[in-house]
A and B are shown apart, each in its own frame.
Chain A
């Protein structure tokens, strides 16, 4: 008997599967690094909201946070780890499969 195919929702990652967290990884999949300010404006979220989501991603080792100074002003950069990039790709692939599955059913 052939092995039952997993439903695409089983491939979704609970940590990444959230609009802001997926958005952060989407931006970092195109860029080497981005500042908190860029992410906040691009994703249209508050500082507190963004901080909470970045902390979740950092705890899961999907992003790394680098703090530094530019013209004596503190600046926080966020960059995706290798694990973060591969998790993002897997999430996009699972979401695409899911949309395709629904489309096929209709």
Chain B
């Protein structure tokens, strides 16, 4: 088989371009980022004004609904654009987040674990999503949230829920908007 260097290079370049384009199309995650971010921000006044059971109830209802909406969004997007990733790593991570948040949120009974625990689980979850999407920004955001969770668990400051959920919610919404802008450019 005779193959010129230029031909081999051209094949490698074309392959890299096809992979990068597909990766870029598949990396759209703005819907869940914005949805969970808004949910976190909405939960802040609930936590400030009512007992911890109110915010626990908000998440118990809101998180599964948001997860379902996210699954439907990914499904309809895959049909629309004609390409999809293997959903199972994402489904397993999402279920682990919901279970972990519920266990630590309710198990903490309004104490530091009920605030730091879910944020730590969410941070780890975002880290995994970031690694799956090969997004340094997403993975970095997840790692930062997990670190904040450890800090608030150690320091136990006043208004700990607000202090953790505002950066998480705002960060998630901002990352989602950035991702949406990127997706609009790619689509």
Query: B-contacting residues of A (Cβ < 8 Å)?
Result: 9, 12, 14, 17, 19, 22-23, 26-27, 29-35, 37-38, 42-43, 70, 75, 92, 95-96, 98-99, 102-103
Contact = CB atoms under 8 A, between A and B. Distances in A.
B85 interface: yes
A14 B16 CA distance: 20
B163 interface: no
Contacts of B155: none
A103 B6 CA distance: 11
Given A26-B19, A102-B5, A95 B12 contact: yes
B82 interface: yes
B11 interface: yes
B15 A31 contact: no
A19 B11 CA distance: 6
B21 to A, nearest CB: 6
Contacts of A98: 3, 5, 8
Interface residues of B, number: 25
A99 B26 contact: no
B91 interface: no
17 contacts: A17-B11, A19-B14, A23-B14, A23-B15, A26-B16, A31-B26, A31-B85, A34-B22, A34-B82, A34-B83, A35-B83, A37-B82, A99-B5, A99-B8, A99-B9, A102-B5, A102-B8
